[in-house]
Amino acid sequence: MAETLVFSKLHFYDTREIGISVPAALAVGDKTIEFQAKVDPGSSLCVFPRQYGEELGFDIESGEYQRIGTVTGGFDAFGHWATLSVLGYEYETTVYFAKDHSFNRNILGRQGWLDRVRLGLVDYDGKLYLSDYNDPTF
């Protein structure tokens, strides 16, 4: 039996690059940081460099502590409430900033982003389809 999916947005990404990148932004008050982020459905959380949190005005270690495990070990991060924007969709959510200054990745994970959208991928064509989870056109 065939299934039909409907999405509001189509984003083309470069399949020659490592990972699937999308334009994103973090905002708190009148401060906004724009960047490219990696879609990572294997990551439980949305995690960003410490520098971004500091630029947004956070005292990083005052946030919600989380030890994040990876295949190669783990690292410490701290959660803070911010507005996360991806391809025109905005969500008030907890995002995490790495404790270590050397962390330099922008990760869109399951909690705080993927749990709020409908996502489709056709990697061969470099196509990412996206809709808000509550979009009535679905």
Distance from C-alpha of 107 to C-alpha of 39, rounded to nearest angstrom:
6
pLDDT single digits (tens) 90-127: 999 999 999 999 999 999 999 999 999 999 999 999 99
- pTM confidence score: 0.93
- In the chain, the largest separation of any two C-alpha atoms, in whole Å, equals 52
Residue type, 74: G
Which domains are present in the chain? Answer: 22-119 (2.40.70.10)
pLDDT single digits (tens) 1-21: 888 888 999 999 999 999 999
Q: What is the dihedral of CA 87, 9, 19, 78, to 10 degrees?
A: 40
